[in-house]
Amino acid sequence: MDKFKAIQFNHLALTQYYRWYQVYEVPLNKARIDNQLDILAEEIEISSQAGTTKGKMGIEDRLKMFEGWQNAHHVENTAIKQISDEELSLEADILYQNIRPDQSRYSYTIHYSTILKLRDNELPLFTKVHLEPTGTVEHTQFRSAYAENRAKSFMHYWLYLMETASVNSDKFKELLAEQFELDFSTTSKVTTLERFNEWLATVPNRVKQSGHYPKNVTVTENADHTISVSVDFEWEGISVENKPMIAETHHEWILENHVDERFARMKMMKVIQTKPFQTVE
């Protein structure tokens, strides 16, 4: 499998994986439960020490068990592999923190083994999720993970759409705020969907394939409930002349967050080229 395909699969799996936790980290309502069901296949099988459930039917009731709980899921590492033409596996370790309505507190580490089913130009769906506790952790201070999981889910979806813009450009609409300002450092600021689509249409003229590797991601939730993201991307691509290309960029984002929507939305983006786009001879 080519490298760029592997990078895209990575983004697809992580987009959905970071969405998995969000429903547990904010108060429940119908829209948020629907967003959770949106990432699951009809025949989803979820297993843990508490037993195994199959299908989407009882999930709403299961989620209601957690009402009034404060939950945080800190993702520590993830590994994604393609296991067939139709499936990806995602293994991950997290630190789970929890404060229950009676104020009792729990923290432990959990290993996730999951299978996702690929779909054409759509996000993949979980078909299997297995949770295995791997250890308890003493007295860690509770820190919310919601903004980080929300931002990372958004980030991987945004990158996936950037890397597949020639077929998926219409999907950006869901990821852009009503009023947005994008400063790509190479053009004048982009503030309308029309201009954004024009900019997007120029990308395939220069680059045939591309992939982003995010690093140094920091996420902050602001007082007005927007989310600030600071991230560095190592980028590689293949030019239309079939030459390998590289670049490094630093991004500062402000995301607007309507909790009932599938994703946060880009309100402001500033890109600084730390290593300009160049072909590698």
CATH no., domain 148-279: 3.10.450.50
User: What ranges do the domains of the chain cover?
Assistant: 3-143, 148-279
**DSSP class per residue in 191-253:** -SHHHHHHHHHHHHHHEEEEEEEEEEEEEEE-TTS-EEEEEEEEEEEEETTS-EEEEEEEEEE
What's residue 91's pLDDT? 98
10-residue averages of pLDDT along the chain (281 residues): 92 98 96 97 95 93 92 98 97 97 95 97 97 91 97 98 92 98 89 95 90 98 98 96 96 98 98 93 80
Question: Residues in the chain, how many?
Answer: 281
* The domains spanning 3-143 and 148-279 adopt the same CATH topology: yes
| pLDDT in the model for residue 1 | 59
pLDDT at 102: 95
Specify the pLDDT at position 160.
97
CATH topology of domain 3-143: Nuclear Transport Factor 2; Chain: A, (3.10.450)
Angle at 212 between CA 211 and CA 217, to 5 degrees: 170
* Per-residue model confidence (pLDDT) at position 185: 81
Q: Please give the pLDDT value at position 281.
A: 80
Q: Which residues of 62-91 are buried (b: 16+ CB within 10 A; e: fewer)?
A: ebeeeeeebbbbbbeebebebeeeeebbbe
